[in-house]
Amino acid sequence: MISLRQKLNEYIRIKGTVSYFEIKDKVENGYFGRRYKISNAERRLRESESPDIEAIIQGGHIVSYKHKRPIQFREARVLGDNGEVLKIIKVPIE
């Protein structure tokens, strides 16, 4: 079973930077498997538990969380049979 800390860390790593209110909404509405209090998420994202996550503070309040080494993506084009671009996707750079 994956812990809330691991789920939050991976979510922020993929997104790069996530607002406090987005985390609050997702945690309280069960996005990570069940509902949690925001205080639980804040505790899991503290530097002592999540050293790769940095809290961005403005005016004495956390406004967002940022991953110190986010996943880098490159854009790739999906081409149709006749060479037209069907869509553009983001592919992680390893």
Each of the 94 residues of the chain gets a pLDDT tens digit; together they read 899 999 999 999 999 999 999 999 999 999 999 999 999 999 999 999 999 999 999 999 999 999 998 888 899 999 999 999 999 998 888 7
The residues, any chain, with a CB within 8 Å of residue 7's CB and separated by 6 or more, are 32, 33
pLDDT value of residue 71: 85
Predicted structure pTM score: 0.79
Contacts of 74 (CB under 8 A, 6+ apart): 90, 91, 93
